[in-house]
Chains A and B, each alone.
Chain A
Amino acid sequence: DQQVKQNSPSLSVQEGRISILNCDYTNSMFDYFLWYKKYPAEGPTFLISISSIKDKNEDGRFTVFLNKSAKHLSLHIVPSQPGDSAVYFCAASARQGAQKLVFGQGTRLTINP
């Protein structure tokens, strides 16, 4: 029972264009969502988050959108840079979940020069 799903295992985008990574969830108790970025042979690093009381959060080139009715969130990267090539995980947590994160399967983003 995959509560957080990233249905695209991989995505390839031209440098300078927009990258859009998608994530769906099934548990309506989730009220905090995060994106982590992971390079090979390193641990995941926090990228951006959003609370369920918001529908958008921006941080520089990165914007996360949350559609609660559709149980869907997306990460937009504009403009995409070669250093953005990595695996991106979305994660979700519930206030009653004692800080436990539930992760999606990850999407490998490749930025082509």
Chain B
Amino acid sequence: NAGVTQTPKFQVLKTGQSMTLQCAQDMNHNSMYWYRQDPGMGLRLIYYSASEGTTDKGEVPNGYNVSRLNKREFSLRLESAAPSQTSVYFCASSAPGFGETQYFGPGTRLLVL
């Protein structure tokens, strides 16, 4: 029972490099989310996907792109990494409908030098 999985766990990038963070869920959830967590800021929504084939911007989308590859997978891409994108990234998923609990993955720690 894996729940929400994320790869990689940790990554170091140089400014300007690109990378894709992978997320997969096995709970048959329609909705998936990407958050970043920074000290003193809580978790902030980057992008979300209410269902397969749809994506929408959250609070802090600049510098990121997403792909909802299928119902299970939702990836986050940094095209040209910047030091301001140093953060811990969490993927989450939930069943459709208001008030449904979001289940989080273990996170990806990203350091951009």
Contact = CB atoms under 8 A, between A and B. Distances in A.
B110 interface: no
Contacts of A93: 98-99
Given A41-B107, A43-B90, A100-B58, A105 B41 contact: yes
Interface string B26-54: 00000100010000111111001010000
Contact of A43 (B4, B40, B45): B4
Interface string A27-56: 000001010100001111110010100000
A99 B41 contact: no
The listed residue with most A CB atoms (<10 A of its CB), out of B59, B90, B98, B105, is B98
Interface of B: 4, 31, 35, 40-45, 48, 50, 56, 58-59, 90, 92, 94, 96-107
Given A4-B42, A32-B98, A43-B104, 19 more contacts: A6-B42, A42-B106, A42-B107, A44-B104, A46-B103, A49-B101, A93-B98, A95-B98, A98-B48, A99-B48, A99-B94, A99-B96, A100-B58, A101-B43, A103-B35, A103-B42, A103-B43, A105-B40, A105-B41
